[in-house]
Amino acid sequence: MRGKEDAYKTEPLKIESEYVIPTEFHNPMELQSIIAHWEAADKLTVYDKTQAVMGTQNAFAKDWKIPVENVKVIATFVGGAFGNGLHTWPHETAAIMAAKKVNRPVKLMLTREQMFTMVGYRPHAWQKVGMSATKDGKITAITHEAIGQTSTYEEFTESTLQQTRMMYTSPNVTTRYRILPLDVSTPIWMRGPGEATGAFALESALDEMAFVLGMDPLEFRLINHTDKDPEKNLPWSTKYLKEAMQMGAERIGWSKRQLKPGMVKNGEWLVGYGMGVGTFGANRGRAKVKATLHKDGTLVMQSATTDIGPGTGTAMVQIAAQNLGLPPEKIVFELGSSLYPPSPSQGGSATVATVGSAVHAASQALKQRLTSMVAGNADTSFKGATVENLTFKDGYVSMTASPSARLSFADILKQQNLPELEVTEESTPDASLRQKYSMYSYSVHFAEVQVHPLTGQIKVTNMVSCADAGTIINAKTAGNQMIGGAVGGIGMALTEGAVMDHRFGRYVTKDLAEYHVPVHADAPNISSLFVNKPDLINNPNGTKGIGEIAIIGVAPAIANAIFNATGKRIRELPITPDKLI
């Protein structure tokens, strides 16, 4: 809590609303699967769909009471995961038990129906937001309460209220979070865990408050923009949310938006514009990378991190190429095996910041080793060479002051009579630095919708997603992350929701015919824009995470656009035609 508890209740200008999000399921195209093989009585190998190679290795070693090094986990490429691969599930244990029983490798793959009940989900959540503001648009108080579901046998929690605590300048903030145990399977973090749920309520409430004030929602957010973290009273490492807002508003044509709902039309269709802001911690963990420079000038890097689709290997190759001055086609990044140096799970928007920092460290270590070799070379043109006065480019080392004096990496190893040059470097975040700054990624999503007043049909006709995510290593893969998150947000807002048959405790929506994941027809042209300014306080590459902020704020942007088109405020997702007619 910050300031006075429930301070909005005594203010004259206020709103109070309840919001509901149903249970939602991950449903990647690739089903959950595993191959388990006992190579010896105490030696297990699994090929598994997991986002956490080392976490899975540790879990199975503990379960079966065998040494960690005797468990080998292979997850080179994972065909889609939104959080469902962050936990070990009963079907994995079943496969390992079966392999032990028959003393042969056993493969087990879930059916689509089993994906709805056995690998977690976004929990059903009830939220209530009370908010007050002055006539000139300064928020005076926010109270945000949330109840999320969990199972009776595990306590699952998530950061539903985090964005409310730090996003806006309100002097009075009250948050209350509870979980309700039910006779259901355990939820799991789903892309934008907690924050995507919380942002739907908070960003919808912001829109409602702006409407009460007769103020443009963008202007309202800019008035309440925070220049430092109001929760921790710390400066931001970097924050370029205002720039992102300006970029997105210009691209979507925000100036066409009218304050009064239902004023913009396209033939019979009502046109509306909405926005929503997202944030997620700019997380960074500990990782190791092994780098081997071969005598032919090629580089192989290895780390146990996996790739669930965002192009991790591509990003790591680019970071190595940029830091070492080696053409990308000469670099291979091997991943997804517990035999490689350890790395955290791929989740929480932290992989590029975490593993990328280890790649950076390994590249710098190689540069230092190569520098020592050329400086000690009989060739007097490199006498006194240091990393600072050398240029590393296109696989060559040259003196910056006299570029004609240069040697290829391969020639340096040849002169030293070395078949290869190997380094293993660990990168860890600076704990003291992270206590001095508050570190987040930011996004803002703009939606244009059309609603047919007779049928209630909704079409998302344009979307613009803008991110302040530090340095963008690869514009294509980063853009794909943003587009994927926006599509997931369309599903969250308009199509996705579990329906339980309470007579039998089974989901009616148990396949992709009844549970409606967005398809091409549901998704418009989606623009992804990046501020692309580095956060060098966070890590040496200046990156911040994208995966979560890609979806956080999308659902409220669409809901707010529907209100702007129709004047109808729908607070329970998904927003289907029956709720509008």
**3 state DSSP class of 35:** strand
- Tokens (6 digits) for 264: 């913009």
- Tokens (6 digits) for 104: 């042969």
- Residue labelled with tokens 């060098």: 536
User: Edge-to-edge strands of the sheet including 299-303?
Assistant: 331-335, 299-303, 287-294, 420-427
Q: How many residues are listed for the chain in this entry? A: 581
CA distance 237 to 537: 6
Beta strands in 63-171 (DSSP E): 71-74, 106-109, 125-133, 139-151
DSSP run (H or E) holding 265? strand 264-266
User: Please, is 461 exposed, middle or buried when counting C-beta atoms within 10 Å of its C-beta (0-12, 13-18, 19+)?
Assistant: middle
CA distance 30 to 81: 9
**3 state DSSP class of 529:** strand
CA distance 557 to 489: 9
- Residue labelled with tokens 């040494």: 67
Whether the upstream peptide bond of residue 181 has omega within 30° of 0, thus cis, is no
Active site annotation includes 548: yes
Pair 331, 299: CB distance under 8 Å: yes
Name the residue type at position 200. F
Strand partners, 291: 301, 423
Phi, psi of 135 (to 5 degrees): -60, -30
Pair 441, 544: CB distance under 8 Å: yes
Name the residue type at position 500. M
Name the residue type at position 19. Y
DSSP run (H or E) holding 458? strand 458-468
- Tokens (6 digits) for 271: 């046109």
Pair 322, 392: CB distance under 8 Å: no
Which of 203, 425, 496, 548 is the catalytic position?
548
Residues acting as catalytic residues: 548
